[in-house]
Amino acid sequence: DAGVIQSPRHEVTEMGQEVTLRCKPISGHDYLFWYRQTMMRGLELLIYFNNNVPIDDSGMPEDRFSAKMPNASFSTLKIQPSEPRDSAVYFCASSPGGREQFFGPGTRLTVL
Amino acid sequence: AQKITQTQPGMFVQEKEAVTLDCTYDTSDPSYGLFWYKQPSSGEMIFLIYQGSYDQQNATEGRYSLNFQKARKSANLVISASQLGDSAMYFCAMRERRDSNYQLIWGAGTKLIIKP
């Protein structure tokens, strides 16, 4: 059984560039979460979806961040334009019924 | 006010000893759930154990058990016979219902180092 798949695993980009992170949740899971983790702020919930519908995006830092879930098997997190302070590990997680969350391996983003 | 509190930022424990990682929580939702996750240095987040608020017995998964004291609002993780591979960050999290959906709230984590 494949777990949550994230791509890319590592991304290095320059300030001002657009960054798109991708996530494929576990089949059958109806919740999908996007997190950001840094040493300074720990694990932060950015946004989560239930049945492809965004439920709570209060954690999205600013308008430069957007997330979509066009279908049950795919989600994207986009940062445009990117800034050095966006450097972090971004995790996607999926969950059956809102119970335990299964995390992807994360995308390590570095913005120069 | 903090909803999930992990009071131990770091711990050193001798290999083969038992470990207790503290977690206290605060919620008004009667139907909540408590989780523990492990994050080794490689970075992945690994689900360890779950306890529902209505579960009568403490959850156990192999060497992991959850010491659930509802009246005290604590959900400590106990690792028996610790191993070097248990060295990692450990996060406590709580699921509570908000409106018609769930929210997962995370603690700040405890860094556990097992000494040989």
The rounded distance, in Å, linking the Cα atoms of B36 and B38 is 7
Q: Do the Cβ atoms of B83 and B15 come closer than 8 Å?
A: yes
On average, the pLDDT of chain B sits at 93
Q: What b/e string do you get for A95-108 counting C-beta neighbours within 10 Å, with b at 16 or more? A: beebbbbbbbbbbb
Mutate which: A50, A99, A102, A108, vs B, most B CBs within 10 A: A99
Going by the DSSP 8-state scheme, the letter that residue B10 receives in this structure is: E
pLDDT band, residue A99 (cuts 50/70/90): confident
Neighbour tally for B70: CB within 10 Å: 11
Is residue A87 pLDDT above 70, yes or no? yes
The rounded distance, in Å, linking the Cα atoms of A73 and B73 is 37
Q: Who among B33, B95, B109 is closest to A42 (CB)? A: B109
CA angle A105, A106, A110 (to 5 degrees): 145
Q: Who among A31, A102, A106 is closest to B47 (CB)? A: A102
Phi, psi of B65 (to 5 degrees): -140, 155
Give the tens place of pLDDT for each residue, A11-68. 999 999 999 999 999 999 999 999 999 988 889 999 999 999 999 898 898 899 999 9
Q: Who among B44, B104, B106 is closest to A105 (CB)? A: B44
Greatest CA separation found in chain B?
Answer: 48
Is residue A100 pLDDT above 90, yes or no? no
**Amino acid B101: pLDDT:** 74
Mutate which: B102, B105, B110, vs A, most A CBs within 10 A: B102
The rounded distance, in Å, linking the Cα atoms of B69 and A91 is 31
Task: Write out chain B's pLDDT in tens, 116 residues.
Answer: 569 999 999 999 999 999 999 999 999 999 999 999 999 999 999 999 999 999 989 999 999 999 999 999 999 999 999 999 999 999 999 998 877 777 788 999 999 999 99
Cβ within 8 Å, pair B47-A55:
no
The rounded distance, in Å, linking the Cα atoms of B82 and B70 is 26
**Amino acid A77: pLDDT:** 98
CA angle B4, A75, A86 (to 5 degrees): 60
CA distance B83 to chain A (A): 23
Q: Do the Cβ atoms of B105 and B41 come closer than 8 Å?
A: no
The rounded distance, in Å, linking the Cα atoms of A72 and A38 is 28
Residue corresponding to tokens 């992170």: A21
**Amino acid A98: pLDDT:** 78
The rounded distance, in Å, linking the Cα atoms of A83 and B22 is 36
